[in-house]
Amino acid sequence: MFEDLKPHLYELRKRLAISVVTVLVMFFVMFAFWQPILDWMIAPLVKVLPEGSHVIFTRVQEPFFTALKVAFFTGFIASLPVIFWQLWLFIAPGLYENEKKMVIPFATGATVMFLIGALFCYYIVIPFGYAFLINFGSQLFTALPSIGDYVGFFTKLILGFGLAFEMPTITFFLASIGLVTDETLKGFFKYALVAIFLVSALLTPPDVLTQFLMAGPMILLYGLSILIAHYINPETKEEDA
């Protein structure tokens, strides 16, 4: 049995190696520009800080490790087309010839949807979330957010929204190979609804507004996924009829 798995393990190692090397290369590229990238990342926070407040660091090593986080995060984002491409090449041997041709639409669509989710988070969720959290106690306390904490929370939110917006792309792929239908997604909706609000509560700040800013688009994306499955994989309905 292990001998049968060897070719798949070798293939997996090859795809992982290419992805890791790509991320490392992009990490060094992005590290050269970490300061303007960090300025862009903290812009939503700076806009909502009250007068007299500013971003600080509380540990001597915090600026350096923050620069590493920024470079790795943006290097990972820049590597997404290659990562999605390698993912597709890994699963392609198990697909039919017509399905293997979907590599470019899959890699492109997955990258675009991730970026849409990340930009939605950056321009909508983060400003609203931090405005609420900072203004809530600004009359009693002086806001001095730590740059390390902010960058860590920022990257978690961006990754969360980026992955959430992959739902239509994943549905398109699964429906194309016949693994998902709209009836399947409709039947799973009540469980998906609970999962969506659970994920939103874990990834967003502890306020209802920000949680709904994540849960709302995810519910809409789930509805879009049902429509995609309906038009991509209608065979099951026809067979049942």
User: Would you say 165 and 117 are in contact if contact means Cβ atoms under 8 Å apart?
Assistant: yes
User: Would you say 190 and 168 are in contact if contact means Cβ atoms under 8 Å apart?
Assistant: no
Read off the pTM.
0.83
Q: CA-CA-CA-CA torsion for 118, 124, 130, 133, nearest 10 degrees? A: -130
pLDDT at 174: 84
Q: What is the pLDDT of residues 125-140, one digit of tens each?
A: 888 888 887 877 667 7
Selected residue with higher pLDDT from 11 and 99: 11
Selected residue with higher pLDDT from 63 and 2: 63
Given a cut of 50, whether residue 238 has pLDDT beyond it is no
Count CB-CB contacts under 10 A for residue 50: 11
Confidence of residue 235 (pLDDT cuts 50, 70, 90): low
Confidence of residue 101 (pLDDT cuts 50, 70, 90): confident
Ramachandran category for residue 57: left, alpha or beta (phi over 0 → left; psi -120 to 50 → alpha):
beta
Q: CA-CA-CA-CA torsion for 155, 156, 162, 164, nearest 10 degrees? A: -170
Confidence of residue 200 (pLDDT cuts 50, 70, 90): confident
Q: What is the mean pLDDT of residues 25-48?
A: 94
Q: What is the pLDDT of residues 55-74, one digit of tens each?
A: 888 888 999 999 999 999 99
The helix/strand/coil state of 146 is strand
Given a cut of 90, whether residue 27 has pLDDT beyond it is yes
CA 91 – CA 100 distance, rounded (Å): 9
